[in-house]
Amino acid sequence: MSKYDIIVLGSGPGGYVTAIRASQLGFKTAVVEKESLGGVCLNWGCIPTKALLKSAQVFEYLNHAEDYGLKVSGAEHDFEAVVKRSRGVAEGMSNGVKFLMKKNKIDVIEGYGTLKSGKKIDVDGTIYSADHIIIATGARSRELPSLPQDGKKVIGYREAMTLEKQPKKMIVVGSGAIGVEFAYFYNALGTEVTIVEYLDKIVPVEDDEVSKQLERSFKKSGIKIMTSAEVTSVDTSGAGVKATVKTKKGEEVLEADVVLSAVGIKSNIENIGLEDVGIAVDRDKILVNDFYQTNIPGYYAIGDVTPGQALAHVASAEGILCVEKIAGQHVEALDYGNIPGCTYCSPEVASVGLTEAQAKEQGFDIKVGKFPFSASGKASASGAKDGFVKVIFDAKYGEWLGCHMIGAGVTDMIAEAVLGRKLETTGHEVLKAVHPHPTMSEAVMEAVAAAYDEVIHL
């Protein structure tokens, strides 16, 4: 029986990062993976979707070349080639993880791992033991009873990335990050897209003004949006699919070639031995303390299987904290109130901290500043004037409570707000930090200036 200091079950952005940090700290480490190194994120999520979205963005540039004084005729897209490029990018990233495993002397155990008592893992009949076992099995597309996925006419995100033929009409159920990203991608390539959202606004976790702006931008692009609507049943017996949608006005039947179910995720906690070991679970999540220890000593859990935000960067951060705590380092618990969220449709959406409504609900006396990209020189020059930066400060102490952005490239800009909040900066300090001109990022400074009635360019 092979013995390790640490075995990580799962090799997604939580698992493989955890394994590398463990190895760096001197632990003899192994990672167990049943499919492809890099997990869903590298192979079927974060990375390949960004490749698809980039192809859509380039196609949009070509179609709007005249806006930049250029002439391009006969621009066409090859759907099969777009998908092939995306898969190539994913494969390259997965191979990169293989290299990192080898470089850091981490043993990769291929197969299906099942937890056993006594700090052991059974991988397809072979038993491995470790002083510490870290569960990082991630999540998958959630299925609704009214929307069973058949992989052909009713699909999840995996199938949406590898369709053999571009659909003429698509219904996207759910308008979280996955839903709006695919809605943008397929719409940009010419598919007629309808979004059906159960709540009363799209991207429902975002600030209200961001949701309204994205809805305006999407409708301008030709995407149909139905909010406060629910798909109650689907009929796949014909050539396409018919979805019955319940709205405030009554029922409506929508017809399409494909329905994409993007209604959230389901943790991969079944059939991995949690019950045999006695690890506590509540509402589809493994219960852990601040440093990811489960109720059973020697067993830990990170990433989508735990109650924190189901985001790749959260899983990575949790894994690093987990093994650093095991190594005896002094570490601080992760601040889940300062986790950035990013959505890569066009315009992009990025946010951190409290929305305006949340800040008011929590009783803060607030200062709110907003700067539209239509007033930004860089945005105007780039032809990307949709969107804005919105900041929220505590009026009494100047604490940066929240930052919400929608526009071109904002997923790369949000880190300023994350770092500022981490360092407990105040609005006045942001104002006095000189921002480069002309850049999209100076909109952050301008929004702060607006909050304090000092805005120059608006």
Give the residue from 420, 428, 438, 449 showing the smallest Cα distance to 353. Answer: 420
435 is catalytic: no
CA quadruple 2, 103, 98, 311: dihedral, nearest 10? 90
Instruction: Classify residue 425 by burial, with Cβ atoms within 10 Å: 0-12, 13-18, 19+.
Output: middle
CA distance 338 to 447: 19
122: buried, middle or exposed (CB in 10 Å: 19+, 13-18, 0-12)? middle
In terms of DSSP bridges, do strands 285-286 and 120-123 run parallel, antiparallel, or are they unpaired?
Answer: unpaired
Rounded CA separation 47/388 (Å): 26
Q: How far apart are CA 438 and CA 457, in angstroms?
A: 12
Tokens of 163: 């369709």
As given in the structure block, the two tokens for residue 261 are 């179910």
E-strand ranges in 143-198 read 154-155, 169-173, 192-196
Annotated catalytic residue: which of 64, 313, 330, 437? 437
Distance between CA atoms of 259 and 234, rounded to whole angstroms? Answer: 9
Catalytically active residues are: 437
